A and B are shown apart, each in its own frame.
Chain A
Amino acid sequence: MAAILEVKDLTKRYDGFTLDHVSFQVPGGCIMGLIGENGAGKSTTIKAVLDLIHRDAGTVTFWGQELSASSDLKEDIGVVFDGISFYETLTPAQVGRILGAAYRRWDDGLYKQYLERFSIPKEKEIKGLSKGMKAKLSIAAALSHRPKFLIMDEATSGLDPVMRDDMLDVFLEFVQDEEHSILMSSHITTDLEKVADYITFIHQGKLLFCKPKDELRYQYGIVRCGAAAFEQMDKADILAWRKEDYQWDVLVPDKEKARRLYKNVVVDDATIDDILLLYVKGERSK
């Protein structure tokens, strides 16, 4: 499947922080989760992808075209930021009219369906909506011009688990169409474990990996062992490790191999949280 979004050597320099030659691709029909600690560069990546900040180097193309080449390209992109983006005295109905005047493919019927599905009152001012309602309104607004690509920056962070689960269903429905994709940054890695097809991990402005989620879930593992067992481990088999109070947690890229090689250790499945924690707080093989 051809890439919907292709990011190549994306670089942005600030005082004290550099987003350093980040490259990844988002193919069609998939959800890519963007993870990393606070300040890792996730939002900077999204802003640079959307041309909200000027890139120092690198290219970003949607369907092979630079965003600056045509504002029509934006018709195919839906964006949800962390926050509603509309002033609090507006109502969802007014938001619909504003966006209806902006997008050629705005589908007012679809927008009303989403408002009903998410139980958002049309005539209530935004300031009277809960944080979760505001997040759902943002998602409804982003989907109602029938975009092909959705970009979300911490869009579900204000939602409770039930609402988040409903939203994840909406996202999964959206990517049923092979021409659709989602790039979503989130701190809630359990959500990404449920829906993401790929995980892109940015740490301190650098891309650590961009891998299929199943590779992480089914191949990566955490070896829990003592100091002696850790010393015996082949460091080539280790991605990162961290010394806890009574044991070593060691991230390995092939848990079955670890189980075969190291009989007297426990090898657990690795969650995305485990992987993130070990990369960020642990030490890494050179």
Chain B
Amino acid sequence: MKSLVLKDLYNIGHNAKSLVFMLAILTIAIVPASGVGGYLVMCIVLCSMMTVTTFTFDDMAGWTPYALVMPVTRREVVLAKYGVLAVFSTAGAAFGLVTGGVVGAVVGEYDLSMSAIAELAVIALVGWAVAFGTGSIAIPLVFRFGAERARILLILSYLIPGALIAGVYGLLQMAGTSISHGMLTALLCASPLLALAWGGVMYQIACAIFARKEY
């Protein structure tokens, strides 16, 4: 599986310069206007979306049949894509925290107090969870429809979790349960774990789809 992840890192690494340049421009454009938090989430989501781009590279090169004749199972091929999603989401969070924090501090959008750092850390965790959760839906979609056709359907990967969260929130309100500030903070901090659990479900679906694919 290491080789599969390494291949995607090399493939994307070639485009890393342009991605970093674009994110740097966005830092300057977004942070002074909208703050560090919004930029940070956007940074993580944009980086996580590179996972879909790796599928495009695979399709162009005819990689997948080659991967399947290597000593890996189909499940490992799928798992590697989730691994790559986690790596890209984490890299996006790290990059966003550093560049957003620096630019935010320079333009006065952000102070270096403990509460501000803690708030940014929570936003990074939530951003990571959003990116991993949505990316987890994108992977089975891409396995099913191919990278290009799935791009149109990727909106689903945002709508489905959004609708689920809104639905749960609505049910809680109907039941008269209010969420305290502490509970909300705990939920937000635990969101990466929820995203991982969600990713586990999506991984099983992606495996079932990929098992039927022919090359």
A residues lining the B interface (CB < 8 Å): 47, 50-54, 71-72, 74-75, 77, 79, 81, 83-90, 94, 97-104
Contact = CB atoms under 8 A, between A and B. Distances in A.
7 contacts: A50-B65, A53-B215, A74-B70, A85-B61, A86-B61, A101-B6, A102-B72
B68 A51 contact: yes
B215 A52 contact: yes
A79 B69 contact: yes
A21 to B, nearest CB: 20
A47 B69 CA distance: 10
A74 B76 CA distance: 14
B61 A52 contact: no
Interface of B: 2-4, 6-7, 10-11, 14, 57-58, 60-63, 65-66, 68-73, 212, 214-215
A81 to B, nearest CB: 7
Contacts of A104: 71
A75 B69 CA distance: 9
B214 A101 contact: no
A90 B63 CA distance: 12
Contacts of A89: 11, 14
A42 to B, nearest CB: 15
Given A86-B63, A87-B60, A50 B69 contact: yes
A94 B10 contact: yes
Given A81-B62, A85-B62, A102 B10 contact: no
Nearest to A153: B65
A84 B66 CA distance: 9
A79 B63 CA distance: 12
Nearest to B215: A52
A98 B66 CA distance: 12
A4 B131 CA distance: 47
Contact of B11 (A74, A84, A90, A97): A90
